Amino acid sequence: MKVGVGMNRSRPSRDKKVSQASITRITRSTSSRARHPIPADPQDSGQGPYGKQRRKQTDSALAQDLSLMIVSGQDTASKGKMSQAGRNPVQACQSTSDQIFPYSFPAKSSPRGGLASAARLVKLGRCKNVLVVAGAGISTPSGIPDFRTPGTGLYANMEKYNIPYPEAIFNIDYFSNDPQPFFSLAKSLYPGSHRPNYIHYFIRMLHHKGLLLRLYTQNIDGLEKLCGIPDDKLVEAHGSFATASCHLCYTPYPAEEAKVAIMNDNIPTCSFCAATVKPDVVFFGEDLPQKYFLHTEDFPKADLLIIMGTSLKIEPFASLVNTVRSNVPRLLLNRHAVGPFERVPLRRGDYMELGDLADSVRRFAEVLGWSGEIKELMRS
């Protein structure tokens, strides 16, 4: 299935609300209006956000494990102000990737009891449908720069492209008028020069163990596929370089030919309407892939949500974390507290392990007893 800008043009708009009865399209924008509702308390007996009857919390063992998470996680939660993404569950998407750690409120790392509690749930067989929500932080150990880090991020080094503001390089209207700045940047963004790291293989191990329900990623680097995560387990919410199409009539274009043209400083053009062709990376103002709508099926099924390497500021992607059932544990592995994890006190069942992401994932794998298997997987 082709996932990207050039395939499905009826994707949900990031400017319009998504209704259960009729899903139209969602585009990347800078709107801050809510998109994904926050589920009601699981003890309520009313209908859930997807029309399904909510089940009361009756699992005392799970409740005990969640209590352990709270005891270990609340005391060290961030005391900063709630971010705009936290106040408004859905905003418009703001970049092709989500590595904005310096703009998130820093917090002390929580005790390691949360990793142990989450691992215990997995070992007890209580977490059989694990969802992973990932941002570009999972790829920085592979040497891929982020977008917004002061001094080193891509947006901090845009002067050479002579654009009015950094995000314009990913704005579809600006691209229509002047595609050259994006093509110049795309030469350094194209997949091929970077390899998956330990974090990617940890997610693949979740799949290997039969636990991964789906990985939702904001990344366009293709490293998730490269490490062996199957396409049916992957939602590339912001598209990828794997396909290309005309940005006006959406006629598919050979991705390799587009890459060759761009690498040689040429502009690929559509053979049908002569407009500019671009890789199927989702720009501001463009539709999200149809595959993104799997979230309406996946998030109500989840029994564990792992959030890693993201600022939870890019909408509507960021608000997906609010659509799991309220009794589902959420584990944030990140450099800073973000989104709902900036809330004091934390929601019941929320836990965060802050600091270096690769280190946190390695420790999580150790608690799970997967370290040796992951290393062997990377070698093979």
Instruction: Please report whether residue 367 resides in a domain.
Output: yes
Structure confidence at residue 309 (pLDDT)? 93
Tell whether 9 is covered by a domain. Answer: no
Q: Check which CATH number belongs to the domain holding 79 and give it.
A: 3.40.50.1220
* 329-362 core/surface letters (b: 16 or more CB in 10 A; e: else): bbbbbbbbbbbbbbeeebbbbbbbbbbebbebbe
Catalytic residue flag (residue 238): yes
pTM over 0.75: no
**Residue pair 100/335 in contact by the 8 Å Cβ criterion:** no
User: How are strands ordered across the β-sheet holding 239-246?
Assistant: 252-253, 239-246, 277-281
Q: Is residue 51 situated within a structural domain?
A: no
Q: Are strands 234-236 and 212-217 parallel, antiparallel or unpaired?
A: parallel
| pLDDT beneath 50, residues of the chain | 1-24, 30-34, 38, 40-112
Neighbours of 51 (CB within 10 A): 10
Within-domain flag for 308: yes
Sign of CA dihedral 320, 324, 326, 329: negative
Tell me, yes or no, whether 104 lies in a domain. yes
Q: Which domain holds residue 237?
A: 60-379
Looking at residue 163, its pLDDT comes to: 86
Set 36, 207, 238, 247: catalytic member:
238
Q: Which two tokens stand for residue 207?
A: 């799949």
With respect to residue 324, please indicate whether it lies within any of the assigned structural domains: yes
What is the number of structural domains in the chain?
A: 1
Contact 116, 199 (CB under 8 A): no
**Which pLDDT value is given to residue 348?**
87
Specify if 152 maps to a domain.
yes
- Looking at residue 21, its pLDDT comes to 37
> Is 55 a member of any domain?
no
pLDDT at 144: 86
The token pair that represents 53 in the structure block: 């009857």
